[in-house]
Structure 1
Amino acid sequence: MIPPRLIEKLQYYSHASESSAGKRVGTKLLRLHLAEVGLSLKNIAAQAPSGDLQNLSSLAYLIGATHDFGKYTTFFQQYLFNGATDGTGRHHHGLLSALFAAYAAEKIGMDSTACSYASLAAYFVVLHHHGDLRALESDTILPSLLRDPDFMSVDAPWRTRLKTLDVQIKDIAQNLPYIEQEYHELMPAIGADAIDISLFLQKWRDVFAGISQSAYRLLNREQDETRQKLFITTLFLYSSLIDSDKKDAAGVVKTKRKSIPADLVDRYREENDKIDIHAKEGMNGLRNEIYLNAVTNISNISLDDHVLTLTAPTGTGKTLTSLSCALKLRQRLQTDSFLPRIIYALPYTSIIDQNYGVIRDILKQLPDFHKDEGVYLVKHHHLSDLQYRMDDEDRPISESLMLVESWESEIVVTTFVQLLHTIIGFKNRFLKKYHNIAGSIIILDEVQNIPIEYWPLVRNMFHLLTRYLGCYIIFSTATKPLIFEEKETTALLEDTPRYFAGLNRVNLIPDLEPVSLDEFFYRFASWYDSSKSYLLVFNTIKTSVEFFGKLKKDKKFNAVIKKKEVIYLSTGIVPAERVERIKTINRLLKEEKRKVIIVSTQLVEAGIDIDVDIVFRDIGPIDSIIQVAGRCNRGMGRDRGQVHVFHLTDGEDGYAKYVYGPTHYATALKLINGNSVEESRFFDLIHCYFDAVRGNINRDISEDIWKAVNHFRFHLRLNLPKSISDFRLIRDKHGYIDVFIEVDGKARKELQDFKRGVIGEKDPLKRQENYLAARNKFKKYVISVPEHLTHGLSHLSERLLYLKNEQIDVYYALDTGFRRIEPGSFIF
């Protein structure tokens, strides 16, 4: 037995900070940190949607209780208080902790009671809890190579790690009684006996050999189903650990789950003066019919049906309908221990604010919403403000960041990037919210915007989410892409084509004779009617800017130019200005009933709520054309809207071919190269299009990444074979660089604050906090531009430039954004 005074003599800490006197002091006892993280993981598993996940609660606790075992070395404790290292890496604790976690899981029998390969999962999760996930095959060693006491047959990086591990093991042995006493206090939480740490110190090579053998057996002999289930289990445990670890270390206050009435959207519709819930005819009548049918069906579908579709024409209120369905489904799924979150994912940041605003208005009906807004609703994307309100208080920036990024809210409004790079992800910062996706109801708005070559992969990953995490998927779209087969989904609206067949808001009018930009401009000028509002959508920023320039020079358009009724939109304009222009468009069209000309790129295609009389759209994918048609005669006015599809070329090929590739380009030309198409035929047209392109897509990237999923190949330093890290929802723009544009006084203030609080701050902790506080406002003035156009700009950092206000006229046009010609070509 260990004398009490000896136990009290040694104190092990997990974290430390600098006191006001400049001295490093311990802020968290290691034993308490391990216990709290373990209990957090145990609670996460216990509140999961399925029995399989709930059965992980003891394993989850054990992972939390062992994840920092390596911090018991004197090397780490000295590093914690001195801050300096001897260059040997002996203070690192990941590998030692991972091996101990696997040993503990095996000794307590987790491989049979929690899940097969529990020891291997514990090892992999703990090994990477301070970084991104790597490849399981590179995290193990041939057992025969571990027999050599000097590890001479192992490659150099592993040899260094193993020799360091050998020294750490001997160091742990020197203080073994104290460490064993701490674990004696940790194990009763799962009804387990004390772990024999001394045996681990003697047999650690055998432990590592066993892990390597398990990994080989898993990757080479197991069925796909076993690997896929373990893949989901591993990500769930990894996410639970990294999120709990960070929050415990930072002292983040735990959130309390909130109930939301299932009829909240019903009440909102009844009390909103702008919604006529009694209408039987027209667009309002159609919206009511769609809403009532969908919410009735969601109350009666089998809970075995996890993939649902809500396919309806644009402008028919899918945001309200899908949210109401999700709330009603959530009530059906709720149990004493489980309450699903709702994740509303959209393709673009530019349309999130609109949907978020609608959902926020609905939730404002709740009496405590203003006090606990963050607990009810968060908006998460790279430009969103870091705000989290709880208990009538705005939480500090660093705490808000953790709560927002881990999706600690009942309803999360986010982007496809955030969602898909989590479920098909390897990065620590994305995966810390993965456990909160378990059992969630995921609304995917306009899912056709996912690149078609990823459809097979996305389908497979959603199948895993529904099967092993208990998720429900609602596809809310006007174009019903064929990601899933018809037999794999359940429609919330019966006889969907009927809703399209009854509409006659627009005609699609193809005129696909190839034209130059000059030819197209002259045609448009001859057709222009000042009593109509127009939207013109181009495939490239360059052609849209050139067309806008021609409008400004032509005398026919002088009147609308002077009245500021010609508005330009593209990603070449800073985000802050884009938001203001969309507000201006809606004010002019809806409130002042003025006729405008909007010149844009594809930015306006999905979700932006504008309504014009006539649309011109350069040829592109049919789903994109149908989406932009939804901005025409949206409210079913007296005159039928016109959507003209033209075919703009550079003299050799259509711009659409350069942007979308030959398959989409050729298929679109073939399907609409003929007579006009009424809106009633849109549903059939889009079905034909998706059916045609699906048969021609290159499935290689989806198949390669799916193989990586089945082999736990998250990331390889060398890019062969393909790994999960090769998934890119947004293709990298090679040759592009970010530029801050000092476009006005507000931008100047953000730049000054950024220079002072981030670049000029010496204290790393304050610099990080200042960056988090400034990041979102700062990025509202940042755009990505071709690097060859930026000669002469100043550097804020290696990959971030800034354009001074006095240089604006040279590089940036206030009406059309960053200039697409070389600065040296200007004549003064």
Structure 2
Amino acid sequence: MPRRYSHPPENGDDGTGLSEHLRDVAARLEHVVPEDATTPSGESLRAVVRTLALVHDFGKATTDFQRYIGVLDGEPESPLRRYHAPVGAFAAYYALDSRGFETETCVAGFVAVGKHHGRLPDVADYVYGRAHRRDGVSGREQNPAERQQLAIGDQLADIDGNARALAADVFEAATDGNGSWAAFFDGFGGLLGDVEEAVASTGSGPGASRDALSESCYALVLQSWSALVLADKTSAAGAPNDAATYAAAEPSLDTLDAYVETLEAEASADADGTRAERLNHHRSRAREDVLANAASFAASGGGVATLTLPTGMGKTLTGLSAALDLRDRLDGERV
């Protein structure tokens, strides 16, 4: 079997094998996600994202993707069959489910892998749309998601015929021995139904239900997605795989205040002056008002606040100042 690459050889570089990349991303997550971090239901977040890492690029094992990146001769037979994230999303759901994680955790993993190269969507609608298929619909009557499902079926058959050993190793590691490539391959049709059912409406018509997921599910999506993307991108960039690479300093309100003071030094004393001076004057006034309100907001115990200012009025720096001020007033509580 020809070697399957995650990133092809180029410019004198040897390229990165798919198995090596999956393992490297999984290893990096030990630096990204604290050991004691948990999902809303108390599961190990590190175990969740490590599972996602081991399958996130699994779809690159297809012949079409290897042709797309130029390591195999020929052109991809179909654009849909060279996409790797959709098949990875289903692999993520299967692997997490095999390991006994909660259904919402499986849903979050599905979205994190399915969108690890894109923007996060409406969770319930996205999951339902990718898994739902209508009976008796074929050919041009199929919607894009249904055509992608057929393409995934072709991708799985291609992998089984051309990279079965790699697939078996990936699923053995990702499921921690609780599932297998053969079970995923043979049961893909049923898996579509399981994924759809996780977010489906219980009403009279088909569609996703917002009530199917708890309020904490989207936060879990964000945690899983952001950790996976950070580990994946730093791996692809060849960044060192050590704790120092991912170490972060606590943001300082003093540093931000000092920077804002340099901007305010250019502000006019009143609403007169040049356009830039007038803008800085109003930005300074807005920041003062927001920080004054932050004090009473913290005294009330916090909650949810909004910051509404016109474009160009400094929402980013003012919002950061308010957040850091609140953090300090609430004894370091997360904002």
- Cα deviation for residue 105 of structure 1 reads 1.1
SS at the partner of 2:251? strand
Aligned pairs (5 A) from 1:658-737: 731=311
- Cα deviation for residue 186 of structure 1 reads 2.9
- 1:183-222 Cα deviation digits (max 9, x unpaired): 26634xx8x2163222222222321221122123684435
For 1:731, the aligned partner's letter is: T
Inter-CA distance 54–41: structure 2 relative to 1 (3 Å threshold): farther
Tell me the equivalent position of 2:200.
216
- Cα deviation for residue 68 of structure 1 reads 0.7
Aligned pairs (5 A) from 1:36-55: 36-47=24-35, 55=44
Structure holding more strand per residue: 1
Match of 1:141 among 126, 129, 151: 129
Tell me the equivalent position of 2:219.
232
Contact 2:159 2:167 in 1 (8 A): no
C-alpha separation in 2, matches of 1:184 and 1:162: 20
Contact 2:268 2:278 in 1 (8 A): no
Q: Can you give the 5+ residue segments of structure 1 that lack an aligned partner in the other structure?
A: 1-8, 259-338, 359-533, 546-569, 572-599, 608-619, 628-682, 692-698, 703-726, 734-828
Residue 28 in structure 1 maps to residue 19 in structure 2: no
Tell me the equivalent position of 1:16.
8
Match of 2:50 among 61, 85, 88: 61
Match of 1:197 among 153, 168, 181: 181
- 1:257-316 Cα deviation digits (max 9, x unpaired): 59xxxxxxxxxxxxxxxxxxxxxxxxxxxxxxxxxxxxxxxxxxxxxxxxxxxxxxxxxx
Contact 1:48 1:54 in 2 (8 A): no
Residue 342 in structure 1 maps to residue 250 in structure 2: yes
C-alpha separation in 1, matches of 2:162 and 2:180: 14
- Paired positions, count: 291
Residue 601 in structure 1 maps to residue 330 in structure 2: no
C-alpha separation in 2, matches of 1:107 and 1:148: 30
Contact 2:171 2:180 in 1 (8 A): no
SS at the partner of 2:69? helix
- Cα deviation for residue 146 of structure 1 reads 4.7
- Cα deviation for residue 251 of structure 1 reads 1.1
C-alpha separation in 2, matches of 1:15 and 1:729: 44
Aligned pairs (5 A) from 1:268-307: none
For 2:169, the aligned partner's letter is: E
Contact 1:47 1:54 in 2 (8 A): no
Q: Kindly indicate whether structure 1 or structure 2 has the higher relative contact order, using CA contacts under 8 Å at least 6 residues apart.
A: 2
CA RMSD of superposed structures (Å):
4.3
C-alpha separation in 2, matches of 1:194 and 1:11: 26
Contact 2:64 2:77 in 1 (8 A): no
- Cα deviation for residue 158 of structure 1 reads 2.1
Inter-CA distance 61–143: structure 2 relative to 1 (3 Å threshold): closer
- Cα deviation for residue 246 of structure 1 reads 0.6
Contact 2:112 2:225 in 1 (8 A): yes
Tell me the equivalent position of 2:318.
none
Tell me the equivalent position of 2:149.
162
Residue 244 in structure 1 maps to residue 231 in structure 2: yes
C-alpha separation in 1, matches of 2:26 and 2:18: 12
For 2:17, the aligned partner's letter is: L
- Cα deviation for residue 76 of structure 1 reads 0.8
Tell me the equivalent position of 2:170.
183
For 2:200, the aligned partner's letter is: Y
Tell me the equivalent position of 1:89.
80
Tell me the equivalent position of 1:253.
240
C-alpha separation in 2, matches of 1:80 and 1:132: 23
Tell me the equivalent position of 1:150.
138
C-alpha separation in 1, matches of 2:150 and 2:52: 25
C-alpha separation in 2, matches of 1:96 and 1:732: 42
Contact 1:15 1:26 in 2 (8 A): no
SS at the partner of 1:18? coil
Tell me the equivalent position of 1:434.
none
Aligned pairs (5 A) from 1:400-415: none
C-alpha separation in 1, matches of 2:36 and 2:151: 38
Aligned pairs (5 A) from 1:737-748: none
Aligned pairs (5 A) from 1:560-639: 570-571=275-276, 600-604=277-281, 623=288
C-alpha separation in 2, matches of 1:92 and 1:13: 14
C-alpha separation in 2, matches of 1:89 and 1:159: 11
C-alpha separation in 2, matches of 1:95 and 1:64: 14
Residue 354 in structure 1 maps to residue 258 in structure 2: yes
Tell me the equivalent position of 1:289.
none
Inter-CA distance 146–209: structure 2 relative to 1 (3 Å threshold): farther
SS at the partner of 1:246? helix
Inter-CA distance 50–71: structure 2 relative to 1 (3 Å threshold): closer
Identity of aligned residues (%): 17
C-alpha separation in 2, matches of 1:125 and 1:14: 18
C-alpha separation in 1, matches of 2:230 and 2:129: 29
- 1:51-88 Cα deviation digits (max 9, x unpaired): 86771222111100010110111111111225965563
Inter-CA distance 730–129: structure 2 relative to 1 (3 Å threshold): farther
Inter-CA distance 194–356: structure 2 relative to 1 (3 Å threshold): farther
C-alpha separation in 2, matches of 1:44 and 1:228: 24
For 1:207, the aligned partner's letter is: L
Contact 2:62 2:82 in 1 (8 A): yes
Aligned pairs (5 A) from 1:523-534: none
Contact 2:63 2:158 in 1 (8 A): yes
C-alpha separation in 1, matches of 2:238 and 2:244: 19
Contact 2:55 2:91 in 1 (8 A): yes
Inter-CA distance 178–257: structure 2 relative to 1 (3 Å threshold): closer
Tell me the equivalent position of 2:62.
73
Contact 2:65 2:76 in 1 (8 A): no
Contact 2:23 2:54 in 1 (8 A): yes
Contact 1:79 1:85 in 2 (8 A): yes
For 2:68, the aligned partner's letter is: Y
Tell me the equivalent position of 1:653.
none
Which of the two has higher C-alpha Rg? 1
Structure 1 length-normalised TM: 0.31
Tell me the equivalent position of 2:329.
none
SS at the partner of 1:343? coil
For 1:221, the aligned partner's letter is: D
Inter-CA distance 730–230: structure 2 relative to 1 (3 Å threshold): farther
For 1:122, the aligned partner's letter is: G
Match of 2:99 among 108, 126, 130: 108
Structure 2 length-normalised TM: 0.70
Inter-CA distance 144–38: structure 2 relative to 1 (3 Å threshold): closer
- Cα deviation for residue 239 of structure 1 reads 0.3
Inter-CA distance 28–729: structure 2 relative to 1 (3 Å threshold): farther
SS at the partner of 2:216? helix
Tell me the equivalent position of 2:332.
none
C-alpha separation in 2, matches of 1:64 and 1:71: 13
C-alpha separation in 2, matches of 1:196 and 1:729: 53
Contact 2:94 2:191 in 1 (8 A): yes
Contact 2:76 2:82 in 1 (8 A): yes
